[in-house]
Amino acid sequence: MRITDIKSLAYAFISNDINVYFPDNGQECFVIERLCCEKCSTHWHTSLLECYFCGELNYYLYQCTTCNKKYSITNSSIRCNCGNINSKLIKACINPKCPSNTVDKIKKIALKEKGVFNLKSSLNLSLMYCINCGSPSNYYKSFKVFIYNDRYESNFNDYFKRIEKDFVLNDIIILKKHNSVLKYDFFHYSVQKQEFSLPSTYRFKNIGSLIFEIIRL
Amino acid sequence: MKFPIKIFEDIVGTDFEKHNKKHVTEDYVSCNLFECGWDTYRPFNDTGIDIIAIKKVCPNNHTPFHEKTTYSYNCNKCGSSLLSIHRFIQVKTREVKGDDSYSQFFGYTLKSKDIRTDPRHVFLLYSDATDEFIIIPMYDYLKMFHNKKIGKSHFGTPSFRVGNNKVNSLKRESDGSWVWKSRPNIYSFMPFVNENGMELISNPKYDIELSKYVMEIVKMKFDLFYNYSKGQQVDSQTEREFNDLLEKSVLDNLENISNNRQITKSYLESTLDKSLKESINGYLIKYKEILFK
């Protein structure tokens, strides 16, 4: 298979926020990986910040220190139209009950650091709770992926004999068929001594729905 | 088997500078892992993991760290079917600094986003000047700080949250031993060095009991992160007040975090004007789950 065909599939995974890793030693496969919530499998975004004192998320807003009016952070040079000469726009925690908005000592630190979500603030952390279900547990979902592409392969049994030594439990074979449109399916090696044969019809008309099914495994 | 193996015989680690050593050291690590039977994979796109390593091992931990099992299906010792294990490795390469006749330090920085709750996540610290690997799985790394034998933890400090908390306590002594020195404690890191570290990451317990280890890491992570440490920020009295507050607002409130976020989101959804929501969505675009309608 040409490297461009492998890259094409790799980019399809990447466009769905799944990371791709290529082998160092010439294997006919690649590895996909995503950090997920252990409870609900939602993507775990390590770049998303949350407030240290209440767990509220960063909504990329400025908030006026006098009237709490909110502004886009796109324009960093604006002032609040409340007219208070001492007002500042800071990247505050939006939760009005957050100690960074209610406890004087923490408010003081937040103001000094230009808001909980300012780049150099010490009052935020990388996501601690799933944005979907609130679970604190994350783990890596990862699969080794092989590709049976009918453009280059004519016999599945021959292909399988070639990859068999590297194909282990939990690995995936993506099936790709070129007709008038591209169609896809996949095998997931989920049970010892499972047997595989090509299906008569492929289930997926687009790569996105195939990837969605894979990442739900 | 002596590990690591001097695979690139034409160069030494210190031939490279900070700006050009990343690729060669990650390759060096990968090649060494391969010599011990691991298949390694490197990122095609920008991720927080430098290497994924995969190997088949005995589920009863009979596979020596250096055994190559690519063409094996069963354990030589007990006959069990081999289990494929994955390790997610973050490599940090440093040249130790200081006087080698006394003590040198290996300085590194970790941020809150580096602390995942998966026990298969591994920190691999490569000392290029001395050609040594210090290999620490996530569970073992946090445990050292959680059981306090190592000394004071840095996870609750303001600088850790900012992301510029450089840790200089990992030392290489003049006799070649690795220790963590945080007065008054001295803690041996030898269980993680070279062959010992490789034995640790070859143990399938993290895969077989994944959920159990995830839960234990979560507990340790929360205990460490939410133990506010004042640094230069506040006085001791305030430090105690902040810790009381964290206990009430976070640790005792874990079940409500998700609800509270929903309330805030609904409030913003109903009060912000359309153009502001569109602007916010421009920043939240990669966090599809929380975009405004």
CA dist., res. A106 & res. A122, Å (int):
11
* Residues B94-134: tens digit of each pLDDT: 989 888 778 899 999 999 999 999 999 999 999 999 999 99
pLDDT in tens, A161-181: 999 989 999 999 999 999 889
Mean of the pLDDT values across residues B176-201?
A: 94
pLDDT at A22 over 80: yes
Q: Are B117 and B217 a contacting pair, CB within 8 Å?
A: yes
Residue B51 has pLDDT above 80, yes or no: yes
Instruction: Give the model's confidence band at B185: pLDDT under 50 very low, under 70 low, under 90 confident, else very high.
Output: confident
Q: Which of A1-5, A45-49, A137-141, B24-28 has the lowest mean pLDDT?
A: A1-5
Average pLDDT over residues B135-154: 91
Indicate if the pLDDT at residue B153 is higher than 90.
no
- Closest-CA residue in chain A for B160? A122
B214:A38 CB<8 A: yes
CA-based nearest distance B174→chain A, Å = 36
Overall average pLDDT of the A198-214 stretch: 91
Calpha distance A119→A128 (Å, rounded): 18
The answer to whether residues A172 and A187 touch, using CB atoms and an 8 Å cutoff, is yes
Q: Residue B139: phi, psi to the nearest 5? A: -60, -45
Q: Measured between alpha carbons, how far is residue B133 from residues A61, A106, B170, B197 in Å?
A: 44, 41, 13, 8
Over residues A189-202, the mean pLDDT reads 90
Nearest to A105 among B161, B214, B238 (CB): B238
The chain A residue lying nearest B83, using CA atoms, is A169
Q: What is the mean pLDDT of chain A?
A: 93
B173 forms beta bridges with B103
The alpha carbon of residue A180 is apart from the nearest alpha carbon of chain B, in Å, by: 30
Could you tell me the pLDDT band of residue A45, with boundaries at 50, 70 and 90?
very high
pLDDT > 90 fraction of chain A, expressed in percent and rounded: 79
Q: What is the mean pLDDT of residues B12-27?
A: 85
Average pLDDT value for residue range B163-188: 92
Dist CA B29 CA B126 (whole Å): 8
Per-residue model confidence as pLDDT tens digits over A51-62: 999 999 999 999
Q: Which residues of A touch B48 (CB under 8 A)?
A: 46
pLDDT value at residue A77: 72
CA dihedral A18, A24, A25, A26 (to 10 degrees): 50
Burial class (CB in 10 A: 0-12, 13-18, 19+), B142: buried
Bridge partners of A72, per DSSP, are: A61
Q: B10 vs B13, B36, B71, B126, CA distance in Å?
A: 10, 21, 31, 19
**What's the mean pLDDT in B67-82?**
94
Q: Give this complex's ipTM.
A: 0.94
Average pLDDT value for chain B = 93
**Residue A89: CA count within 13 A, CB half-sphere:** 18
Each residue's pLDDT tens digit, B238-279: 999 999 999 888 877 778 899 999 999 999 999 999 999 999
Chain B residues with CB-CB distance to A121 below 8 A: 161-162
Chain-chain contact of A22 with B258 (C-beta, under 8 angstroms): no
Confidence of residue A69 (pLDDT cuts 50, 70, 90): very high
Percent of chain A at pLDDT exceeding 70: 100
pLDDT score of A78 more than 90: no
Q: Residue B106 corresponds to which amino acid?
A: F
* A77 compared with A66, residue with greater pLDDT: A66
Of A19, A53, A13, nearest to A36 (Cα)? A19
Q: Is the pLDDT of residue A192 over 90?
A: no
Which pLDDT band holds residue A142 (cuts at 50, 70, 90)? very high
Q: What is the structure's pLDDT at B106?
A: 95
- Cβ neighbours of residue B204 closer than 8 Å, sequence gap 6 or more: B57, B58, B59, B61, B83, B85
pLDDT band per the 50, 70, 90 thresholds, residue B215: very high
In Å, how far is B234's CA from the nearest CA of chain A?
9
Among residues B145, B162, B289, B168, the alpha carbon closest in space to that of B222 is found at B145
Contact A23 B41 (CB under 8 A): yes
Rounded to two decimals, the pTM is 0.95
Neighbours of B33 (CB within 10 A): 26
